[in-house]
Structure formats: structure tokens, C-alpha cells
A and B are shown apart, each in its own frame.
Chain A
Amino acid sequence: MPGSLSISVRECRLCGTDLAADNQSGLCSPCQHQSKASAAPEVPDDFWDAAPLRQALSDRHMGQVIRAYRQHPFHRAAFGRRGIPQSSVGDWLVLTQAQVSRMESGSPPRNLDTLIHIARALRVPPGLLWFSLPQTESGAADRPHLPRQDQHPEPVVQASQEAWRSVRRRLNAERAVLSEAAAQLYDPTLRVESSALLAPAAWLAQEPVPLERVTLRWDPAPVVPILDGTAHESLGTRPLRLPDQRFDRYTLAVRYLDSPTLFENRPSYRLTGVRWGGDGAGELRFSLATYFDKLDLCEAIGHEFAAATESGSDHPRWGQLALRRAVGDPFDLRIRPMIPAITTLLLRRRPDGEATFFLHWRDPGRVATAGGLYDAIPAGEFQPSSVLAPPDGPDFDLWRNIVRELNEELLGAPEFDGSAGRPLDYERWTLYRALQRGRETGAVRAYCFGVGCDALTLAATIPSVLVIDDGIFDELFGDIAPQNAEGITVAALPEQQPATGIPFTEQNITRFLRNEPLAPPGAACLALAWKHRRLLLAPSPCAP
């Protein structure tokens, strides 16, 4: 029904240029070009009356809403007969073309965050949705009501955003150097094995603790944090979004000005207690928060540090670091939501007791954090596998989280990342069962070293190590994916296959610790694993 559309806008909505009489898009060609690349265009009200859209909305299937939206006759003028390509919609939604395709043809996405994100990105009128959009104070900032632009028309906004991008680029490009400089702000005894991962003595176990001896406890009533990403001390790390208003949170600035490929908020576990006993066992307590609770504060703390070093000094003083100062004690789990990642060094143990290890390279353009660095693999946030799963249910387990990351990062398999509609059934999952059997025979062993914070961002990590005997390794990980969706490449020596790993020798360890950009959690894992190598590589008790 293209004939029924009536467009009254006669000036380009973005730059105000007069439009040609036959221009029905509401945008002049340059702006149209830009908006095609970055955000959904404005559509007339009766756009949403189209039958396929109504059907998809009444079926509550956001994937089919995307398809009906793309193929709407309105878009033919700007995008051609076949409507908007999946890849363009993917750009607006910060998803890959493949993810858009799966969403359109698969079962309806159920993660509320995902639904809200899509509804906002496509500007679906709230009245047509089967869920409500959050009406928060930050609602206005959260909604991409203007197409994202490289250049905001207001010079003051433009300058602020450009300066922010420049610091952000520097933060991403120089994380290793900046972490080392930030570590010098703290008591040197806090450094874990001379790395830029910091931990008080009470946070580290005396010896690696077998994962089965780490008890996880659910904290039903954690102390409410008194510092979060909206803190006024973080204002300096947030660019202007309008001449008189800054972005409300750091993640909003990232989303609109520097969005990596994967940038989605998900439920994540919040650490509320750490206790290591003298008996070689330990206990970690957790409640629930979100991934962005972590990034809002930690990335802003890192940004503040990067900005302070830009002014020439390599070693900023506390005076320039208002947000870091406000945190005070980085190890008080109550002050701010402490949302740890789990970083695991993978060791492949040969029958002769020698071993190889694995590192990956993180592409700064595709990952939100720790880009431009080597890090241990697998590494990932500690998160429930599905929003529908009870947070204190089967997913509330360090080992299962590590296996999910192994699956994703080494095998390139889809991530069980909290966006799935169904809770994961571990016992029916072949890889999990195989590794579980390996743990029972001792051919697979997992240990936890404790908890630490990256000096640059104060983001928490649980460093751990996973030792897998050669035979079972080959069987399970013979086909290591050289690269996965997160922009991660498994590092290999020039003449070797990725699956072989890097020889676990003093020379190689020293090389990575001293000469390569290695993320502090990975550096701590590597150094701790080397320190405890006898225990870790001891012959497995049940090995033939």
C-alpha cells in the first residue's frame, strides 16, 4: 500500500536541507546514506499498520517483526525492491547478519533486554509491544531516537565526543601499558606475582584449590552498593550527548559512539564474599547484577586513567582520578557491584609431564573489554546461561561456566550467554559429560587461584587453571576454531597448529609476561600456574 503513505516533512530531519519534491524518506541523500549505515530511519505512523508487521507483533515474535520491518514497502524507495538487507539491520542492532537471520527464522527471542533493545532500535511504538519499555530517567538517552552520526551538529558536543573517542581508542590500544602504570598507584604487595592484577592476601588461596573444593553460596540479601556508574565522579568520563547533557552511563556512550560487535547487557553474578580456609578449601558468595553494572564503573575508571595519562604524565597522581578516589578501597565488595569474569589458563598435559598452554588474541574492534591483548583462554563473564534459569540453579557453578566458555572460545560453538530461551541441560550435553568423566578419572583437573582486580579498571577476575591430559584433549579439542565471533584468535607458534599449544617452558612464560601485551588476569594465571607447576602437572592419580 505505498500509495496510502503521506509524508509531510519537506526538510531533511537531520540537517534541515530542503528536500526534493519526490523525496519520501525525510532525509537528504547524504544523511540517508549515513543513517543507512548506522540506525533505523524514521517511519510514518501508518507504517506499523502493514499486515505482516501486525501479524508478527500479535505473534509476539521479534524475529518476524524484524523481517516484516525490513521488507516493508516503505523502505523500497531508499533501499531497493528487496527492502533493507539483514546486514544493515544487524548494524543498527549491533548484531551480525547471521544472528539476525537466526532470529528471523528461529524461535522467538525471549530475553527481555534483547526485546527492549530491538524495539528501541527499530522504534516500534510502545503501544504495539507486548512488553513495556522501561521508563527510567535515562530513558531519553537510552532510546536511539536520532540516527547515530559520526558528527553531531553541535560543535561543543562534537568536540566532547571526539575527545572521548580518542581516549577510548587509547584505552583500548594500550591496556597492558596502562594497567602496569595504574598498578603503581597501589601497594606493591597487592600485585599477584608481579602482574597488574591486584589482590589482598585474603583473596588468594595459599595453593591452587581444586574447583570441587570451592563452595559457591547464594547471598539472598547482599549489601546494596553505594557507588555505581551514574556516580557524579564519573561525569568526566562521559561525553556530551546534547550541549547541556552528558551520557547517563559509560555503556551508553560506548553503545552510541564506539560500539563493539558484541555489546549486550546480561545478568551476571556479583561477588559478595571471599573466604579461603587453611584446609585447602574455599567459599565464594554471590548475588546477581548485570554485565553493564560492571562496565559502567570499570571502563569509566579505566577511561579516567587513560585520560589522565594523555596530558603527558605516564604516572597520573591520585588527584586527577576522582572516580578511582571515590572507590577508595578496591577490595570492598559492598561499595560497588563487583562482577568477576572467570579467566582460565588451559594446560595440555602430555604423558611425560610436559605441557603446552593456550593464549588468545582479542581484536579490539570486536570485543568490549581487554581488546588488543593476549589473554588466557577460556575467559568469560560469570553469567547464567539463560534468563529463564534460576540464577542460583545449575548455572551457578564455576566449572559449568568454564565449560561453556571452552565450548564457545575453543570450538567456536554458539554461546550459552544468557540470551537463550531455555535453561541449559548440562547432563545431556556431550562435551560437558566428557569433561565431567575426565574430572572423575583425574584426566581433567580444574583449580581456582582466588580473586583479583585489574589495576587499570578495577574489574574483578577469578584466575583459574584447567589441566587436560593429552589424549582427552585431542579427542575433544582436536579442531580448535582459529577464530570465533568474539574476535578472538588462538595464538600459535609459527610452525604449529593452534591445537598444539605453546610449550609451557620458563622461556615462553617469561616472553609473554615481559615482552607481550598480556591482560593482567592472563598474566596472573600464567605466573601462578608456573609457580605451582609441580602440583598442577603431577601425574593424575587414575591415569593408566
Chain B
Amino acid sequence: MATAGPTRIEDDPAASRDAWLRTRTYLNGHRHELTDAALRDFKPEDFIPGTRLLARPGWIPDHPVPLEDVQLAWADEAPATPIDGDASELDRIRPISDDRTRFRRYSDAVEHLARPRLFENRSCYRLLDVDGGVRPSLTFGLGAYFDVIDICEAAAHEFTAAQLDGQAGPPTTPFRAMVGDPTDLARRPVMAATSTMVLRLDRATGDAEFVLHWRDPAKVASGGGLYQVMPVGMFQPSHDAAWNQANDFDLWRSISRELSEELLGSTEDYGSGIAPIDYDAWGFYRSLWHARTDGRLRVFWLGLGMDPLTYVTDMLTVAVFDADLFDQTFQRLVTTNDEGHRVELEDGTGRASGIPFRADQIMRLTHDEPMQPAGAALLHLAWKHRAQLLS
């Protein structure tokens, strides 16, 4: 169709891509402020008390649950959902490629216009059901990582674009309106990350400190520019080869891999493209397993929740290391990694490995600093339950 007048921006590929990039850049630079604005779309009772994380009743246990008491169930058939990343509601935020077609999915746009260093569609465990209680049970099926980009990042992008246009509310964010209640696990495919707060407990003094990470927006696809606990990783098989699916379907195995990769900078290649990981033969895993059995390492489940801006889902866990075990395990604790750098608090002693687990630090990070809502919620809940975690 020939047009006589000036080209409208939405028909101009270069202009549409510039607009998309501007929004994307703004999103990555202002996640904390945008989250503040996104809070207003929810009722106070939708949040875990004292946090900015959304949760359904029963998702957060009254007390920390030892991780070994959390049951995982597998569903072969993961049902289709009414919402996916193809929704036409997302058209208005889809940039136009040179052939004048719109990028079909948000991940396509990210891949071509703003590709981060780590960007790979891999299979993930998809969360299907949560049964809370004293012994929580989680049901998973198989899903794909790019659903997180196509739905969660797209929803955040849509929200950002509306904010930049000076608009707010459901009419300006039709995709978010269609998603509706983000905690409804049947409406969209929900992948979950495990966020683990690593505490180093000095039993002699009773003092504890925790590991904190700064996510570099230049290095990660989502959650850049924010503080976060460490390690955090998608709950997913170590490799797409089918034999990993059952072998890696275990929260502790997943957390162990993340501890090794993020805190020690070890490789993400476990050779599981050739054969499943033999966890019992892996020294790091074995020594942590021994520490868990003799109580020098205790791991707890604190529940799960969703980010109000991105709808990203985080399972909240705490790993409490006795100081000796921590020092021995993490002698070569990384300072920077592929996603950002570890935050140290200079206390004049030259040996700080983390942030003191103290009321003022918790208050500062949960209220004054840009911290990812899941990490902040984890800090808040860990502090609330510190008597049990540190006993």
C-alpha cells in the first residue's frame, strides 16, 4: 500500500527499532523505579507481607522448611495455556525488521537488537502446581527458557513503554491485562528460578554474613542494574539431552550447580551432553552433601513469589554454612562473574566476604537500595526467621 504522507513511526523499521531500544534501555536502567510503579496495579494483600513479591496463600510457609522436606512431582503432560509470547496484544511493542514484518517474539527482538552475552533457549522445568503446607509439594513439567523472555520481559517492556508515554493502567497495557493474575499457573507457562541466600554463620560469635551480587545490565538479559542474592539460576536441566531431565530434577542438585558456577566461577559444562551427571562422583557436590548430613550446612525452603514488574518467579531458599565449611568450600570465592560482581562491604579488616546479616543491612537493602524484589523478599524472610535459621 502506497502512502502519500510522511512515514508513520510504527511503519518505519529503523524508527520502531530505535523506540524499542530506547524502551529496553530504560527498562534495564530503571527496573527498581518501574517496579515501584508496577506495585500500584496490585492490592496490598497480593504481596508477601513486608515485601514487593507477589504470592498466593500457602506459597510462603509459616516457618522455614528444611529443603529435604520439599517434594517435587513430575507431570509428563504440561497443559497448553491461553497466554503465550505470540499474543497479538504485544504487536504495539514489537519492532519492525527490515523486511517490514514485525519480530514475532520478544526473544527474536532481543536476539537481534540487544543480545546479551548469555542468551540461549534451553529447556526449563515449568511450574504447574504448588501445594503449600508443612511439607510443600511442587509439580513441574517441561518448558522453555524463552517463554520467560517472550512473556515476562515483554510484559515488563509493555509496562515501561506505557510509563514512558505517560500512561498507566490496563488500557495501555493490553498484554498485561490479558495475563491478568500473574500467579495463575494455568494461564501462562511459568518457569521458576531458585534464589539462594548463602549465609556464613560463625557459631563462636553468633555473627552471620551473606553473599550479595550486583547484576550488570550489560551482561544479563533480565534483572540488570539490581542487587540480588547469589546464586540465582533457572531451575532447568544442565543440558537439553533427554537423560538429564530426571537426573537434574532436584532442587539441591540445581542449587549445587549454581553454587559452583556462580560462587566459584566453575564451568557450566558438566559433560551432560554426553552422559548424565554422576553427582556422587563430583567432589564439590559430595562434600556439600556430607556437610548437610552432619549439620554443618543447612538448607531451607522459604517459599516462592513473583516479581510485580516482570512476573518472573523465584523459589526462595537459604543455605546456612558453618564458617569453617564456608571458608574451606569457597576459598576462591569469585569477585566478578558473567553476570556482574559480588558486593563486599569494606569493614577495614580486609577480609570481608559478604554483608553482615544485621538489621541495618537488611533494612538498607530491602528499602534503600535497588534490589530485585525476590532477593529483597528473601532477605526480609530470612531475617524474620533468623532464630530458626541460625540456631
Among A223, A232, A319, A328, point to the contact of B361 (Cβ < 8 A): A328
| Contact (A325, B358) CB under 8 Å given A232-B386, A232-B387, A319-B205 | yes
A231 CA / B390 CA spacing, docked (Å): 13
Among B207, B356, B384, B387, point to the contact of A226 (Cβ < 8 A): B384
A 320-337 to B, binary, CB cutoff 8 A, 1 in contact else 0:
001001111100101110
Among B206, B362, B383, B384, point to the contact of A322 (Cβ < 8 A): B206
Is B50's CB within 8 Å of the partner chain A? yes
In the complex, are the beta carbons of B358 and A328 less than 8 A apart? yes
A327 CA / B360 CA spacing, docked (Å): 7
B 359-391 to A, binary, CB cutoff 8 A, 1 in contact else 0:
111110001000000000000100110110000
In the complex, are the beta carbons of B363 and A335 less than 8 A apart? yes
Is A224's CB within 8 Å of the partner chain B? yes
B261 to chain A, nearest CB (A): 32
Is A227's CB within 8 Å of the partner chain B? yes
In the complex, are the beta carbons of B358 and A326 less than 8 A apart? yes
Q: Among A231, A325, A328, which residue has the most Cβ atoms of chain B within 10 A? A: A328
Among B359, B367, B383, point to the contact of A336 (Cβ < 8 A): B359
In the complex, are the beta carbons of B50 and A224 less than 8 A apart? yes
In the complex, are the beta carbons of B359 and A227 less than 8 A apart? yes
In the complex, are the beta carbons of A328 and B359 less than 8 A apart? yes
Q: Which residues of B contact A322 (CB under 8 A)?
A: 206
B 46-69 to A, binary, CB cutoff 8 A, 1 in contact else 0:
000110000000000000000000
A7 CA / B237 CA spacing, docked (Å): 73
Which A residues between 9 and 45 are near B, CB-CB below 8 angstroms?
Answer: none
Q: Among B358, B361, B383, which residue has the most Cβ atoms of chain A within 10 A? A: B358
A322 CA / B204 CA spacing, docked (Å): 12
A449 CA / B62 CA spacing, docked (Å): 44
Which A residues between 220 and 252 are near B, CB-CB below 8 angstroms?
Answer: 223-224, 226-227, 231-232
Beta-carbon nearest neighbor of A333 in chain B? B363
| Contact (A325, B360) CB under 8 Å given A224-B50, A232-B387 | no
Beta-carbon nearest neighbor of A221 in chain B? B44
Q: Which residues of B contact A336 (CB under 8 A)?
A: 359
In the complex, are the beta carbons of B360 and A332 less than 8 A apart? yes
In the complex, are the beta carbons of B363 and A325 less than 8 A apart? no
| Contact (A326, B359) CB under 8 Å given A226-B383, A232-B386 | yes
A325 CA / B361 CA spacing, docked (Å): 12
A329 CA / B364 CA spacing, docked (Å): 10
Q: Which residues of A contact B386 (CB under 8 A)?
A: 232
Beta-carbon nearest neighbor of A335 in chain B? B359
A334 CA / B386 CA spacing, docked (Å): 18
B389 to chain A, nearest CB (A): 10
Beta-carbon nearest neighbor of B362 in chain A? A226
A234 to chain B, nearest CB (A): 11
Among A231, A232, A319, A332, point to the contact of B363 (Cβ < 8 A): A332
A105 CA / B207 CA spacing, docked (Å): 56
A378 CA / B216 CA spacing, docked (Å): 56
In the complex, are the beta carbons of A223 and B367 less than 8 A apart? yes
A355 CA / B387 CA spacing, docked (Å): 54
Q: Which residues of B contact A329 (CB under 8 A)?
A: 359-360, 363
Q: Which residues of A contact B361 (CB under 8 A)?
A: 328
B 188-208 to A, binary, CB cutoff 8 A, 1 in contact else 0:
000000000000000001110
| Contact (A226, B206) CB under 8 Å given A232-B386, A328-B358 | no
Beta-carbon nearest neighbor of A232 in chain B? B387
Q: Which residues of A contact B206 (CB under 8 A)?
A: 322
Q: Among B49, B356, B386, which residue has the most Cβ atoms of chain A within 10 A? A: B386
Beta-carbon nearest neighbor of B384 in chain A? A226
A335 CA / B363 CA spacing, docked (Å): 7
A319 CA / B205 CA spacing, docked (Å): 7
A237 to chain B, nearest CB (A): 14
Beta-carbon nearest neighbor of A230 in chain B? B387
| Contact (A226, B358) CB under 8 Å given A325-B207, A335-B363 | no
Q: Which residues of B contact A335 (CB under 8 A)?
A: 359-360, 363
In the complex, are the beta carbons of B205 and A226 less than 8 A apart? no
Q: Which residues of A contact B367 (CB under 8 A)?
A: 223, 334
B207 to chain A, nearest CB (A): 7
A328 CA / B207 CA spacing, docked (Å): 12
Beta-carbon nearest neighbor of A223 in chain B? B367
A 335-375 to B, binary, CB cutoff 8 A, 1 in contact else 0:
11000000000000000000000000000000000000000
A232 CA / B367 CA spacing, docked (Å): 23
A447 CA / B270 CA spacing, docked (Å): 70
Which A residues between 426 and 453 are near B, CB-CB below 8 angstroms?
Answer: none
B154 to chain A, nearest CB (A): 32
Q: Which residues of A contact B360 (CB under 8 A)?
A: 327-329, 332, 335
A395 to chain B, nearest CB (A): 28
A486 to chain B, nearest CB (A): 32
Q: Which residues of A contact B387 (CB under 8 A)?
A: 231-232
A460 to chain B, nearest CB (A): 16
A453 to chain B, nearest CB (A): 14
Beta-carbon nearest neighbor of A326 in chain B? B359
A325 CA / B206 CA spacing, docked (Å): 10
In the complex, are the beta carbons of A327 and B359 less than 8 A apart? yes
A325 CA / B386 CA spacing, docked (Å): 14
A329 CA / B206 CA spacing, docked (Å): 18
Q: Which residues of A contact B207 (CB under 8 A)?
A: 325
A224 CA / B384 CA spacing, docked (Å): 12
A227 CA / B380 CA spacing, docked (Å): 11
Beta-carbon nearest neighbor of A331 in chain B? B360
B319 to chain A, nearest CB (A): 20
A358 to chain B, nearest CB (A): 38
Q: Which residues of A contact B380 (CB under 8 A)?
A: 226
A466 CA / B14 CA spacing, docked (Å): 71
Q: Which residues of B contact A326 (CB under 8 A)?
A: 358-359
A306 to chain B, nearest CB (A): 19
Q: Which residues of B contact A227 (CB under 8 A)?
A: 359
Q: Which residues of B contact A231 (CB under 8 A)?
A: 387
A187 to chain B, nearest CB (A): 13
A296 CA / B50 CA spacing, docked (Å): 22
Beta-carbon nearest neighbor of A327 in chain B? B359
A231 CA / B362 CA spacing, docked (Å): 15
A 396-439 to B, binary, CB cutoff 8 A, 1 in contact else 0:
00000000000000000000000000000000000000000000
A228 to chain B, nearest CB (A): 11
Q: Which residues of A contact B205 (CB under 8 A)?
A: 319
Q: Among B359, B380, B383, which residue has the most Cβ atoms of chain A within 10 A? A: B359
A322 CA / B50 CA spacing, docked (Å): 24
Q: Which residues of B contact A328 (CB under 8 A)?
A: 356, 358-361
A326 CA / B205 CA spacing, docked (Å): 12
B 326-367 to A, binary, CB cutoff 8 A, 1 in contact else 0:
000000000000000000000000000000101111110001
A293 to chain B, nearest CB (A): 15
Beta-carbon nearest neighbor of B358 in chain A? A328
Which B residues between 90 and 124 are near A, CB-CB below 8 angstroms?
Answer: none
Q: Which residues of A contact B356 (CB under 8 A)?
A: 328
Q: 18 A-B contacts, Cβ less than 8 Å apart?
A: A223-B367, A224-B49, A226-B380, A231-B387, A232-B386, A232-B387, A322-B206, A325-B358, A326-B359, A327-B360, A328-B360, A328-B361, A329-B363, A332-B359, A332-B363, A334-B363, A334-B367, A335-B363
Which residues in A have some Cβ–Cβ distance to B below 8 Å? 223-224, 226-227, 231-232, 319, 322, 325-329, 332, 334-336
Q: A223-B363, A224-B49 are in contact. List 16 more A-B contacts (CB 8 A).
A: A224-B50, A226-B383, A226-B384, A231-B387, A319-B205, A325-B207, A325-B358, A326-B359, A327-B359, A328-B356, A328-B359, A328-B360, A329-B360, A332-B359, A332-B360, A335-B359
Please list the 8 inter-chain residue pairs (A to B) with the smallest Cβ-Cβ separation, ordered nearest first.
Answer: A328-B360, A232-B387, A329-B360, A328-B358, A335-B359, A328-B359, A227-B359, A335-B363
